[in-house]
Structure 1
């Protein structure tokens, strides 16, 4: 980066500025105070090599700033003419830039990202006691970092040390994250634009992996096709550790891509997607290594796909977050009975399967989660208030337009004497990303085939070239 004009468009800067104003307005409604949002620390990998740096999502959501060693401070009690948005960041350092690359420095960061004031990060401990003096409350991520909590105590102790001069420390400490979580749950147009692009890149990576896959390949070779595609199209990194599981490995939910060989007749389960400009995508596809589903594989695949269709049909604004999961469970449970994987003499109906949770042996996760800056994104799944259910849990929250969720049913059948042998060691999951709308949902990852016939056609086309 050669200049601050290469940062981003003014529209993007306005997006972050508007988010900060929303937080300030909410804090003023609570009586004011100071909010502190640090970015993530750098972490040593080994010896003198760091892990690849990734900013804190909350910090980035409010700033768009990706450098390490930075902290955002919001002053919701600022008087007219006083700064209400302050950034603390690294100073310019020509020597360090020779080794590590461009740094904005405080003044350039203030100008480029639209803050009211900027300070060197080394002055944070000096400035914070001044900023906290006579404030009614301190808002930050309570209890998430021992080092941050200790730093906050030092700031408060420094303020209290001036009590004889009439200076008062904040009398309240409030958790800032619930407010930010609620904001992050509903995506704006800027966010959805990035997420659609991330979804498109990830879909292309899955298509490439399907085309490249042949019996005899190792899992890590297939993973390489994914990683190449992510970076080739501008994604900064995978959104999470890629799962590439051949054969029985697909029955391990968080199996990392290893060195197992994809044999003729195996299914390959890939759960992998990229992160683009701070936003995750999340796709899972399951396909035959040789390009042809066996009858047993196809039977289970069609059940999982029907469950995903049912869950997608149940996803819309105004319904319970749990509704898509229940829709998928009904289809999966019926399928387990129809295939004989569950014994009808023991579980006669779908209601019996659901009541006894007999499906959980073969389907042990939920059908979706929030998606956004984090692959398992911020936000509560249950309401803060309301009557408790039979298990003592609070009610599920209601989906709203602009929420983004995954829809990912699956079946995982390990070898077992009480299961028909033709289904042994088959693991299938199908996952897409869905933007909730008023009347349904938009599946933004369907550029990669999902119907079994379409998958086979794509793989045949590749093999014929």
Structure 2
């Protein structure tokens, strides 16, 4: 891992919160993510299961966490199983966790090798009534590949068919949405690295630069500051590319007079930032570009004020839609009379602003949380309105990350340049 060591207090805290919500006489089992083959002799870079990392801090494949708070044998109340290294693994793959390192990282005292997992589980499982199984229940996920947690569940049901099986996901959906102080600090670190990369880009962009050259500058800054990497595939969308919401080709030349829409962010210690900005290639907005830019910025600031504890996502989006509609009318993109006659189920603003304004942020960029539960203190949400005008080849999106506190909210990206004048000043400095 490139990132600095993390205090194991965060993972001990997370485990304690999780087991406090288990039914009595329950075992909970969590597996690390699968490794995926890339070709005949190589895997894709390993990415840890966010639930597993949330509870252990272990960033390594072939690992298992077993939690059994009511276990009659105290040795097995909390156990971590790891892949045992050897000389061959050390030569070909490099260092793996020792038991002492895993104990220090996770805060778990009892560490065993993975070869001991079946025997340990069998020695205690019949003292439990419930087995809690982890599953990916993020509603943005479509289950088409039988991942490790599900495969192990099938094996357990065959071997222990009379136990009662439960889902861990409903517990984690509530827990992961509320960020601890440690998680907030890691997210701030990701935001700070993202800020530095954006400022670097502002000083680098000029007419005829390519989108991939800009991406290289971002990547350089991320890795230089020990980020895990990009939080998601970066969007460097110049000119008409900006009206493609998930444009990631990043292979075009940035032309004088065009706008570049950026959507990129750092991942640090598996925690993600999520930022969007829009800048003029030549360092100066035209009047039309500036008018659209300022309209999006006003919507973002108004929407940010609505991100407080108790806000309901659907009502929030409707209010943002009303604010955006007013801006689109002022820009001449919508007619007020048409708006007054619109179908409320198909509001006209969606022609130019077709995506949601906010989502939860954390170990997943679109973090695991309920879209039906009101916002709570400790939530971190994005705020990302945009206006996309295909006829003009113009797309503007601005996005910051907002932490809800008891006293209101805090913009974790408040120090990232966003005012048009500041962007122009840095680009021409």
TM-score above 0.5, yes or no: yes
Alignment partner for residue 225 of structure 1, among 193, 217, 221?
Answer: 217
Shift in CA distance, 151/196, structure 1 to aligned 2, threshold 3 Å: closer
Alignment partner for residue 328 of structure 1, among 320, 329, 351?
Answer: 320
Deviations 1:119-172 (CA, angstroms, capped at 9, x unpaired): 222333443333322421110124763554343333343346xxxxxxxx41x1
Aligned to 2:77: 84
Alignment partner for residue 454 of structure 1, among 398, 422, 428?
Answer: 422
> What is the alpha-carbon distance in structure 1 between the residues aligned to residue 270 and residue 188 of structure 2?
13
2:333 equivalent to 1:341 = yes
Q: Is the 8 A contact 1:216 1:263 kept in 2?
A: yes
Q: Which moved more, 1:300-309 or 1:112-121?
A: 112-121
**Does the residue aligned with 2:227 lie in a helix, a strand or coil?**
coil
Aligned to 2:240: 248
Aligned to 1:154: 155
Aligned to 2:384: 408
Alignment partner for residue 208 of structure 1, among 195, 200, 205?
Answer: 200
Q: TM-score, normalised by structure 1?
A: 0.85
> What is the alpha-carbon distance in structure 2 between the residues aligned to residue 252 and residue 112 of structure 1?
42
Aligned to 2:353: 363
Q: Is the 8 A contact 2:25 2:127 kept in 1?
A: no
Shift of the alpha carbon at 1:360?
0.8
Q: Is the 8 A contact 1:250 1:427 kept in 2?
A: yes
Alignment partner for residue 439 of structure 1, among 407, 413, 421?
Answer: 407
Shift of the alpha carbon at 1:323?
4.9
Aligned to 2:30: 37
Aligned residues: 420
Pairwise CA RMSD of aligned residues? 2.1
> What is the alpha-carbon distance in structure 2 between the residues aligned to residue 23 and residue 245 of structure 1?
41
Q: TM-score, normalised by structure 2?
A: 0.92
2:12 equivalent to 1:17 = yes
Unaligned runs of 5+ in 2: 137-142
After the TM superposition, which residues 66-465 of structure 1 pair with which residues of structure 2 at under 5 Å, given as runs? Answer: 66-79=59-72, 81-106=74-99, 108-110=101-103, 112-142=105-135, 145=146, 148-159=149-160, 169-170=162-163, 172-348=164-340, 352=342, 356-382=346-372, 397-415=373-391, 424-461=392-429
> What is the alpha-carbon distance in structure 2 between the residues aligned to residue 8 and residue 266 of structure 1?
42
> What is the alpha-carbon distance in structure 2 between the residues aligned to residue 345 and residue 18 of structure 1?
55
Unaligned runs of 5+ in 1: 161-168, 383-396, 416-423
Q: Which of 1 and 2 has greater Rg?
A: 1
**Does the residue aligned with 1:133 lie in a helix, a strand or coil?**
helix
> What is the alpha-carbon distance in structure 1 between the residues aligned to residue 366 and residue 305 of structure 2?
22
Q: Which moved more, 1:322-331 or 1:179-188?
A: 322-331
Shift in CA distance, 22/78, structure 1 to aligned 2, threshold 3 Å: same
> What is the alpha-carbon distance in structure 2 between the residues aligned to residue 330 and residue 247 of structure 1?
27
Shift of the alpha carbon at 1:232?
0.9
